[in-house]
Structure 1
């Protein structure tokens, strides 16, 4: 079964090898991000260290646009995960993008929305973490990868109609050269606008036999993922509602879901998780959300996420983030400030 820990995010298998091709080692990222090397060698991450890894890569390159282009072009097709591999071997560009939109749900932190109108196809990033928009390099690389996919699949030098980013950039020269169009910054979203005619271009990498093997497995994985997320998210929402000053009771949560506590335990076990595990996730998610609000002090946050004393909250937070709540808040505020004003 797929673990329903939606907030845990996996880096693509070829991420570190692509960075090595650019002369960057994992230890360089760890040092820049101020994260333990042992942490970044894990297979998955919570949202904060995941964003920190991407931000560290951007800082090491020095220019966001250059960092986006370098990584998008350095990533080798042979290192694509199965979900991306199925897009590369699609029949044409339209099918590749449709597959990417569907299977992107297996890979947080953002979804893709595809809209065709007139002579334009717009692909928009729809973030799943509204309280934290990702680093510019992550958002930009996601869009850059989409047109790079089209180029590799069709074997042609495709260009975009227009690219829009919600963040500001010191220079758009590298990105305009890569996308072959004007780059707009400070927009109300992150979008890639393609020439609709390009969507009908066949992929020279089309492999029907491989797709017949990959698609059923990916569809099963996605169905399991969505089912588990549905139940687990419902449980976590009820847990969050009852967090303040105490520990949510499984019998109360099960009753609100219209089942016995034994049935709920069994269903969660079938999904590869438990009520206790989801409770820890609920507390973790709420804690990060509350810490982003400077008007709340740590003692108050501890109470709001269900801890009777501040020390218990500190111990739990260290397990989640390998840092104290106070340090996390300071780093988060600095990081958010740099996204707006740029690094000092």
Structure 2
């Protein structure tokens, strides 16, 4: 089941920023985020999260991801990460993080064990741009820090690939070969290291954490509306052309009639959700100057640019070019998305 595009940033993150003397207000201003993200119920979408990390890198420097990991060492962590520290060994810890990652963010965390090692990669479900370097650094340094803390050994990865330019500080900290300016990011651990036991292994505590996390995961799955699921499938399917009710129903393993009935019960129709999803994506794509309008029309599944223009004028009472020009001339008027 797809995880909604809603991300909760733990309090430990904000506390770590304070210890690094990074001002929250300045960070939110530079990232163009509302103060509500600080509230107990505050959530961000993927685009907002990436903007936060881009702004954080500007304020804190290129190695801010590592700095945050070092600052958060020993702090209270969310249960989905705490459960990894009490795993039986390195391999189990990695798989536990992958299993419960859905509780934290719409991120697919892949752990692949092969003959020569164990590779970890991450893909953000709703991402329309590349993950910020600082966020990748924070993720990889946290994993290595977890392994070192859990085993009480200075374990280094077998190899790492990063999109960013070279950093001597990261190079020394990881103490392993790093491919800089790589097309994709990954971190690979030695296969033999997967069996190294965690000194922090606690079977009883692990059982309690597993039960709590399973309950949270079941709650999250049960509270995800069918409308959210359809929106997620529509976003994935649009670049292949106009999605049909038949194909979406097949992907969701539900009959067309049942899908239509459930959507009506939630106050929607397939046609309205398709239009709403295209509308939201159109505004997101138009915010990106690298996309030509003809490319956006293709990404939204329109057969021609004229059809996109007519739809957009119906949504916004102006052409896509006029909308983009307005945002360029008045950057403070960028609309807040749901």
Question: Where do 1:42-53 residues align within 5 Å?
Answer: 43-53=42-52
Name the residue aligned to 1:20. Answer: 18
Specify which of 271, 280, 301 is matched with residue 284 of structure 1.
Answer: 280
Contact 1:175 1:183 in 2 (8 A): no
- CA drift of 1:69 comes to 1.2
1:176-228: per-residue Cα shift (whole Å, max 9, x none)? 11111122122231111112222112112222222212212322433454566
CA distance in 2, matches of 1:304, 1:256: 29
Could you say if the C-alpha distance between residues 295 and 260 of structure 1 is closer, same or farther in structure 2, counting changes exceeding 3 Å?
closer
* Matching residue of 1:335: none
1:164 aligned partner: 161
Following superposition, the deviation at residue 260 of structure 1 comes to: 7.1
Note the 1:203-222 alignment, pairs <5 A.
203-222=198-217
Cross-structure match for 1:57 = 56
The corresponding residue for 1:310 is 316
Matched, 1:33 2:31: yes
Which structure has more RCO (C-alpha within 8 Å, separation ≥ 6)?
1
* TM norm structure 2: 0.74
| 1:152-301 mapped onto 2 (5 Å cutoff) | 152-165=149-162, 167-169=163-165, 171-226=166-221, 231-232=226-227, 234-236=229-231, 257-259=256-258, 263-264=262-263, 283-289=279-285, 291-292=287-288, 293-295=291-293
Q: In structure 2, the residue corresponding to 1:308 is in which secondary structure?
A: helix
Moved more, 196-205 or 82-91: 196-205
In the alignment, structure 1 segments of 5+ residues that lack a partner are: 244-249, 318-322, 332-344
Task: Point out the more displaced range, 119-128 or 81-90.
Answer: 119-128
8 Å contact kept, 2:31–2:54 = yes
1:99-147 deviation per Cα after TM superposition (whole angstroms, max 9, x unaligned):
0111112233432221222342211223323521211101121111111
Quickly say closer, same or farther: Cα 1:119–1:236, change in 2 above 3 A: closer
Give the SS at the match of 1:186: coil
Question: What do you get for the CA RMSD once the two structures are aligned?
Answer: 4.2
State the Cα distance separating 1:89 from its structure 2 match.
Answer: 1.3
| TM-fit CA distance, 1:47 | 2.0
Structure 2 residues without counterparts, runs of 5 or longer: 239-244, 298-305, 333-338
